[in-house]
């Protein structure tokens, strides 16, 4: 059996509600939509922690953040933690990362043989929160409303610079695989192309901004006054300064327009990569996956960005297309920890390969159109703007959110998809609330987890202070580059170089 190639295209902060295939009335996402129509679309996929680094570490490892101490955006991703890149490499795959994965620590590859770009955010402990001073803002990197007020259009940003590089490097790597391929012996490959868009700041290039007009941009379906503000939401509103920095409708519309424009920009990158896969003749043997690390509230409930378990923040798009994928629209709840076992299944491996216990399950049966009795996602939030762990259990139509310091929250997404009513005290839901509460107690020791988190925070802040003194030794990844071996040089025959770089070759031996 020929093992399929795998290409994962990842967005940052992409709420599925802002994609055409997920029902947005004006979103222009033709490439994502087309992929979903010929493959499988998950309608209840979640991140396991609604923040960049923790979510990505769960995605890579198949483990919840509490298991691997991946609490926040400055938590080290241990080199002892196996990732799907490690497992697929051991199954004979060539592995490559182009773009963001927000690795923290000296290991900046985590199983990827090739890493063809640097990252976009710091790889050290600079962004460590302090749960012993949870009300103190770190203005250097905490979100605030100024981002919304400055949204709009620009010819270039650091984000477009980065994503243009990510797309170019990913496509060139794919072409290089074709240049060097021998149908008898070349290994299958897995490429992760991970973009920063449509993550804030909400600033779009003119060609994408002009795809939309202000009069077609909808205001949030809920606002700060239309829903009850639970204590965690209040902390978030204060933390991002939304509770005391009013926004005009014009400012909100401008930010949401720029976000949609950047969703379309990301979609264009999806299209470019799919075209390259077609150009190298691998489209029929490549599983393509589109997803994101978390969503974006975009003003719903008065909240922006992520860092909570409401639908716009915690849900992610998840689309598979390729050989043997016939799932259509899949309603089962799942999460990003399910990606690792799914990839192992697709690559022909088994659970025997696992070096550590994982928290996910394979989605292959669902992708093949079969039934799966599992219908759940587990979430943990242990980062800034709280001082206690926050847990989520989504099972079937119910979502339960627990924090030791706050009243419980229970939402019935079948009858209240906007989560405007907390049913935790409703008589008809008391049995479910009791069951969820017991499950939280059995799954987590919240007090001990909090103590562990504070210990790591103290340690990391101490290390960061030390590393900031004296000679700086950065962990930030520098992609290797040797110009003396690129293009045509004096030590090589230019005709050989021309033959190697041309694809397809003149003699037609490769397709």
Residue 43: Cβ-neighbour burial (10 angstroms; 0-12, 13-18, 19+): middle
Give the integer Cα–Cα distance in Å for 478 and 81. Answer: 22
Find, among 194, 236, 460, the residue nearest to 336 by Cα: 194
User: Do the beta carbons of residue 129 and residue 72 sit within 8 Å?
Assistant: yes
136: number of Cβ within 10 Å: 10
Residues 6+ apart with CB under 8 A from 74: 53, 104, 122, 124, 125, 126, 127, 128, 129, 460, 464
Question: Catalytic residue among 19, 47, 52, 96, which?
Answer: 52
User: Do the beta carbons of residue 338 and residue 64 sit within 8 Å?
Assistant: no
Give the integer Cα–Cα distance in Å for 313 and 335. Answer: 13
In angstroms, the first-to-last Cα distance of the chain is: 20
DSSP structure string for 382-432: -STT-SS-EEEEEETTEEEEEETTS--EEEETTT-TT-----TT-GGGHHH
Question: Catalytic residue among 86, 102, 294, 402, which?
Answer: 102
Told to judge if 199 belongs to the known catalytic residues of this protein, a careful annotator would answer no
Angle at which helices 52-61 and 339-346 pack, to 10 degrees? 30
Told to judge if 24 belongs to the known catalytic residues of this protein, a careful annotator would answer no
Give the integer Cα–Cα distance in Å for 170 and 174. Answer: 6
Coil, helix or strand at residue 147: helix
247: left (phi over 0), alpha (psi -120 to 50) or beta: beta
Element at 367 (helix H, strand E): helix 364-367
Residue 458: Cβ-neighbour burial (10 angstroms; 0-12, 13-18, 19+): middle
Give the integer Cα–Cα distance in Å for 295 and 411. Answer: 18
Give the integer Cα–Cα distance in Å for 329 and 45. Answer: 12
Catalytic residues: 52, 102
């Amino acid at each position: 059996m020929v093992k399929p190639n795998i290409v994962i295209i990842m967005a940052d902060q992409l709420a599925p509600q802002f994609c055409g295939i997920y029902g947005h009335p004006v979103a222009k996402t033709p490439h994502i939509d087309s992929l979903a129509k010929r493959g499988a679309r998950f309608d209840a996929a979640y991140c396991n922690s609604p923040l960049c680094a923790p979510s990505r570490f769960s995605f890579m490892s198949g483990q919840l953040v509490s298991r691997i101490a991946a609490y926040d955006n400055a938590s080290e991703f241990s080199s002892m933690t196996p990732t799907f890149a490690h497992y697929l490499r051991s199954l004979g795959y060539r592995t490559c990362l182009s773009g963001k994965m927000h690795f923290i620590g000296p290991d900046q590859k985590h199983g990827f043989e090739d890493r063809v770009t640097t990252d976009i955010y710091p790889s050290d402990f600079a962004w460590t929160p302090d749960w012993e001073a949870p009300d103190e803002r770190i203005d250097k990197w905490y979100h605030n409303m100024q981002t919304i007020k400055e949204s709009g259009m620009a010819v270039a940003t650091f984000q477009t610079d980065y994503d243009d590089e990510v797309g170019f490097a990913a496509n060139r790597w794919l072409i290089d695989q074709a240049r060097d391929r021998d149908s008898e012996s070349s290994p299958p490959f897995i490429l992760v192309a991970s973009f920063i868009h449509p993550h804030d700041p909400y600033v779009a290039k003119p060609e994408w901004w002009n795809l939309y007009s202000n009069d077609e941009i909808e205001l949030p379906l809920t606002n700060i006054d239309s829903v009850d503000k639970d204590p965690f939401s209040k902390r978030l509103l204060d933390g991002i300064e939304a509770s005391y920095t009013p926004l005009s409708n014009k400012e909100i519309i401008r930010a949401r327009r720029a976000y949609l424009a950047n969703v379309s920009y990301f979609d264009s990158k999806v299209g470019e990569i799919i075209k390259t896969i077609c150009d190298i003749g691998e489209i029929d043997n490549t599983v393509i996956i589109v997803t994101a690390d978390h969503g974006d509230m975009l003003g719903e409930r008065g909240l922006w960005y992520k860092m909570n378990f409401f639908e716009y923040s915690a849900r992610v798009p998840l689309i598979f297309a390729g050989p043997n994928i016939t799932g259509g629209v899949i309603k089962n709840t799942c999460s990003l920890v399910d990606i690792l076992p799914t990839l192992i299944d697709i690559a022909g491996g088994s659970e025997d390969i696992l070096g550590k216990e994982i928290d996910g399950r394979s989605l292959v049966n669902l992708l093949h159109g079969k039934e799966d009795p599992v219908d759940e996602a587990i979430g943990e939030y242990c980062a800034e703007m709280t001082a206690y762990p926050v847990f989520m259990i989504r099972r079937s139509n119910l979502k339960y959110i627990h924090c030791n310091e706050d009243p419980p929250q229970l939402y019935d997404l079948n009858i209240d998809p906007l989560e405007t009513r907390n049913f935790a005290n409703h008589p008809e839901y008391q049995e479910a609330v009791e069951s969820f509460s017991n499950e939280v107690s059995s799954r987590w020791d919240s007090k001990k987890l909090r103590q562990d988190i504070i210990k790591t925070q103290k340690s990391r802040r101490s290390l960061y202070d030390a590393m900031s003194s004296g000679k700086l030794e950065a962990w930030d990844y520098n992609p290797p580059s040797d110009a003396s071996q690129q293009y045509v040089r004096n030590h090589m025959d230019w005709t050989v170089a021309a033959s190697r770089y041309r694809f397809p070759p003149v003699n037609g031996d490769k397709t």
